[in-house]
Amino acid sequence: MGNPGVMSLWIGNFRTKQSLKEYVEIKFDEVGDRIQSKFMRDFNIDFIDYNQDLLESTLIEGSTTSSIPLLSGSSYEAEILSQFVEHYGEELPETYDSVIRLYDFEYDGDIDEVKFKSGNLIYMGSVVYEGWDE
């Protein structure tokens, strides 16, 4: 659900930039209505809570067990990386080549992992990247 200053993070394996792009891409039907991306369908994310402009997806060369290369170059990198490493550690249990970051969104769904033909995607958690004065 929408939550300013919070970023939700998924890591996975897509093998190609094209596969990752197609997975998160929102399309339109013949009358111009939006069609949910495969990512949205897999994790039951609704358009009400979702802003495509606040999504970043990255595929790195090769794969890694370190969270640092996966999160390097992201918006708010310093804030995100420090919290992620503090909470989950630098080393990941498996190798991954892809990351999806959704800003101003705190995922609270019950789907933690999706497997598909070319790989998998795991919801890792949400971190605060920007504080808001109330």
pLDDT at position 57: 97
Answer yes or no: is pLDDT of 49 > 60. Answer: yes
pLDDT at position 50: 79
Domain residue spans of the chain? 2-128
Q: What separation in angstroms does the CA of 24 have from each of 19, 21, 68, 78, 93?
A: 9, 6, 22, 25, 24
Q: Are 107 and 43 in contact (CB under 8 A)?
A: yes
Answer yes or no: is pLDDT of 46 > 70. Answer: yes
Answer yes or no: is pLDDT of 16 > 70. Answer: yes
How far is Cα 43 from Cα 37, in angstroms, rounded to an integer?
A: 10
Answer yes or no: is pLDDT of 9 > 60. Answer: yes
pLDDT at position 51: 86
Task: Summarize pLDDT for 60-109 with one digit per residue, the tens.
Answer: 999 999 999 999 999 999 999 999 999 888 999 999 999 999 999 999 98
How far is Cα 19 from Cα 37, in angstroms, rounded to an integer?
A: 12
DSSP secondary structure letters along 84-113:
HHHHH-SEEEEEEEEEEEEEEE----S--E
